Structure 1
Amino acid sequence: MAKVAFLLASGFEDSEMKNPYEAVKEAGHETVIIGLEKGARCDGKKGTISYTADLGASEAKADDFDAVIIPGGGAPEALRVNDDVVRFVKEINQNDKLIAGICHGPQVMISADVLKGKEATCFIGIRDDVKLAGAAYHDKEVVVSENLITSRTPKDEPAFIREILAKLS
């Protein structure tokens, strides 16, 4: 079974965390929530759910994980400016491990400079940023490109989750 990191800060899109997180756990994989600080409370932007960070980004080591999932909403903006978050995602990518981002999640991928030469999708509001980061943008429910999986919005969650579980198995 895989050990999967979920990168989280307050303001995340509730369902984009809850649904993949529960699906990955139900599939038998180990889940670890990585926040800006260990023990930090992360609240969903709709207020339906909150989580506590199991690990701070400064403690996260790519060698300890098989994959990282980045929910969207406002959280990626807070995560992408944290040097430890960016380092962690870069290291995951250098080891060709799975990086999955939905909605605004690819903002963290942009800051970690992992999109060059890949294909991706995202929330339309960051489409130009994804293109400028070197990815070929596709307006599709899910795009799998080597070790990356990206999706656009909560309505794409079933396809996003399906591809994550396929890669982890």
Structure 2
Amino acid sequence: MPEAWLRGAVPGIPLLLQPAAHALIQSAEDLKIYMENFREEYLWEKVAGRAAVGFHIQHMAGVIDRLFSYAAEKSLNSQQLEYLKKEGIPDPGLTSQMLVDTFENKVMQALAIFKSTTAETLMEPRYVGRKRLPSTVLGLYFHAAEHSQRHLGQLLVTVSVLKEKEEKRI
């Protein structure tokens, strides 16, 4: 099957948001593939001092949640701030599948928001964080998509190294 961006327009998504929609869809699809046969015992293992697979998945979901809050002109709430603090902290109550499902749900929510977004609102100014750094609705949506892709690439490398480690064990 071709990558998401080669399958045509995502129905209901404004033209200017198609690249972001395609990137988020591709991230969700690739994440499922990369996590196939991934051993739970490696979820929080760091490779070469870099972030664990569990962190990357948590962070991808958290970034979408936070950036979409800013796009909606909302400050982060206490739940979001608590989630941010816990990103990357090993949690034996979380499984790979739970994290993947959370990310997929965030992607679905993002796509639903894209569908209700008008082209006119995309260039409206928005502000990020307590420092109120300047962006736009489009900037926030695009960054959520590209940031997911960036962490997915890092996750792929970490998963590959850990799977190879497992193969050498056997």
TM, length-normalised to structure 2: 0.29
Larger radius of gyration: 2
Higher relative contact order (CA closer than 8 Å, sequence separation 6+): 2
Give TM-score scaled by structure 1 length. Answer: 0.29
Larger helix proportion, structure 1 or 2?
2
Query: Relative to total residues, which structure has the larger strand share, 1 or 2?
Result: 1
